[in-house]
């Protein structure tokens, strides 16, 4: 059933939000759902962060660290983790969800896994609608894309800020130049910075590649930062 209002979702706790997200799948295309999503879009209050990068780069571990920091600061958080799909069942292989540790009793954080299925782009068919609902409920919404290659860029459509994760040893400047996704991020994170020299080298290679990205004069240049999720 489509929720009666955005306020009903806000006061309904995790059960109310879960029902709203379920309606996105079961009532897709209905007039009632369209009205509800329009209302949620008009009542947006949260900032949306898109986290993307290749498999194994540490997106889920970084997500866990960010959620912990935001909750410690008193902010409410909704997470959409897009997982690869089982070829047999079509369901999500919940690897991302397993790495995000949350307290089930904490009403200030909600994690929803979604299966990418056969959709290209790094997100699932329902991600945008789910983000619209969560953005009306939480202070922060984090969308973690499925592990990407060189051209998946849909995360830029759902996020106020796009963070691209790069890991040490993942290529040189030429390799980064070939990645179309390099044109999208607002911030580039080199993960696993505790590795030391390899992380510093990756940072230098990414910064070198960014100098070759075409952009308008005065346009934002994504800073490249070293991050260790453990610290």
3-state DSSP: the chain helix, strand, coil percent, rounded to 5? Answer: 40, 15, 45
Cβ(225)–Cβ(190) below 8 Å: yes
Sequence-distant (6+) residues with CB within 8 A of 102 are 67, 109, 111
Give the model's pLDDT for residue 75. Answer: 97
* pLDDT higher than threshold 80 for residue 138: yes
* pLDDT higher than threshold 60 for residue 146: yes
Residue 183 lies in a domain: yes
* pLDDT higher than threshold 80 for residue 62: yes
Can you give the pTM of this predicted structure? 0.85
Q: Which domain holds residue 171?
A: 160-231
> In whole angstroms, what is the distance from residue 202 CA to residue 44 CA?
37
Residue 4 lies in a domain: no
DSSP characters over 176-227: HHT-GGGGS-SEEEE--GGG-HHHHHHHHHHHHHHTTS---TT-----EEE-
Q: What's the mean pLDDT in 28-44? A: 92
Sequence-distant (6+) residues with CB within 8 A of 136 are 6, 9, 10, 40, 41, 43, 44, 45, 46
Residue 48 lies in a domain: no
Q: List, for residues 173-204, the tens digit of each pLDDT value.
A: 556 655 566 778 899 999 999 999 999 999 99
Residue 164 pairs with which residues in a beta bridge?
A: 52, 188
- For 147, which DSSP code? P
Identify the CA nearest to 59 among candidates 151, 200, 176, 185: 185
Helix (H, G, I), strand (E, B), or coil: what is residue 47? Answer: strand
Helix (H, G, I), strand (E, B), or coil: what is residue 138? Answer: coil
- pLDDT interval class at 215 (50, 70, 90): confident
Residue 199 lies in a domain: yes
Residue 189 pairs with which residues in a beta bridge?
A: 165, 225
- 224-226 and 140-144 beta bridge pairing: unpaired
Residue 149 lies in a domain: no
Residue 191 lies in a domain: yes
Q: What's the mean pLDDT in 83-98? A: 55
The percent of residues in the chain predicted with pLDDT above 90, rounded, is: 47
For the chain, the domain total comes to 1
Rounded to the nearest integer, the mean pLDDT of the chain is: 83
Residue 136 lies in a domain: no
Residue 76 lies in a domain: no
Give the model's pLDDT for residue 182. Answer: 72
């Amino acid at each position: 059933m489509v929720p009666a209002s955005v306020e009903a979702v806000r006061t309904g706790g995790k059960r109310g939000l879960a029902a709203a997200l379920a309606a996105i799948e079961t009532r897709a295309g209905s007039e009632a759902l369209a009205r509800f999503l329009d209302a949620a879009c008009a009542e947006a209050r949260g900032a949306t962060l898109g986290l993307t990068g290749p498999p194994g780069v540490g997106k889920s571990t970084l997500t866990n660290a960010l959620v912990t920091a935001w909750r410690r600061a008193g902010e409410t958080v909704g997470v959409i983790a897009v997982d690869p799909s089982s070829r047999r069942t079509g369901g999500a292989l919940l690897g991302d969800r397993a790495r995000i540790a949350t307290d089930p009793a904490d009403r200030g954080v909600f994690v929803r896994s979604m299966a990418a299925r056969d959709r290209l782009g790094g997100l699932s068919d329902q991600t945008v609608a789910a983000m619209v609902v969560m953005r009306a409920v939480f202070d922060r919404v984090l969308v973690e894309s499925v592990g990407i290659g060189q051209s998946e860029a849909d995360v830029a459509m759902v996020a106020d800020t796009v963070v691209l994760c790069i890991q040490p040893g993942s290529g040189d400047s030429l390799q980064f130049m070939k990645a179309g996704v390099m044109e999208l991020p607002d911030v580039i994170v080199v993960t696993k910075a505790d590795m030391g020299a390899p992380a510093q080298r990756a940072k230098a290679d990414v910064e070198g590649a960014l100098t070759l990205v075409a952009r308008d004069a005065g346009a934002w240049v994504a800073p490249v930062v070293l991050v260790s999720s453990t610290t």
